Amino acid sequence: MVAAKVSNNEVFTDVALHLQDLVLGNPCVEQVLGDLAAYAAGRLSIRGEEVSCGIWLVRSRKSSTAAGSDPPARHMVRAEGSCGQGPGVSASDHKEAVHVSDLRLEERWPQYTRAVAGQGILSALSVPLTLESPSRGVLNLYSRLPKAFDGPCIDRAEAFAEQASKGLRLVLRLARLQDTRDELKAAMESRTVIDLATGAIMAKHKCSQHAAFKVLLRASNTRNIKLHDVASQVVATLSGNPGAVTHFNE
């Protein structure tokens, strides 16, 4: 069994490199997960025993993301998100692979099994991805055959997930850097618009900066509008240009 795992790791060393190529071509996490699901389904299928793949990912301050190699796989993984239960949720919670040999006989997650009935999927395998906290993810494999995932299949799936996790950690680090950049840019834009509006009010009403800012704040609270939006309206009105932007938008 150990020898088989070593061999599988050697076979799947290209997975992390494949993910790096994906993120260089398209840094969108959702697109990367969709491509990875299709790639996993292709790599982990064998002739006569094809599998589909669904990937579930949760990131800090982000809604969960689900991707699948085909419509049934997407339905299966999204059903877990809706129900809050299923093999993927259990694999994530317990940090170990969860195998369902026949969904028709499964009793652990009644709401989930009802939600996925009719998809033609009879067996499933969920393997947790090893990501940096607080991110969590699961690689789910589905088959239209019962008892499709034996010991060697589980070993191969775990080896694939181990290599995929390496690439996904890089993808998520890059995504966090992009999010930080976007947040910083938005904060700078907001601060600039507020400063411009404050200055415009000061010039028009010959008042102090503190008094001008209080005018903006009062308008924001009274009208229940974000301070940035009130400031944008002031700048647009006083400049006579409704499309006025800051230099950060250029």
pLDDT for 186? 64
Closest Cα to residue 32, out of 185, 184, 199, 167?
A: 167
What is the predicted pLDDT for the residue at 183?
58
Q: How far apart are CA 80 and CA 235, in angstroms?
A: 47
Low-confidence ranges of the chain (pLDDT < 70): 1-11, 23, 25-27, 61, 175, 177-187, 189, 238-250
- Count CB atoms within 10 A of the CB of residue 229: 14
Give me the pLDDT at residue 231, please. Answer: 83
What are the angstrom distances between the C-alpha of 236 and each of 114, 186, 197, 205, 214? Answer: 54, 18, 9, 17, 19
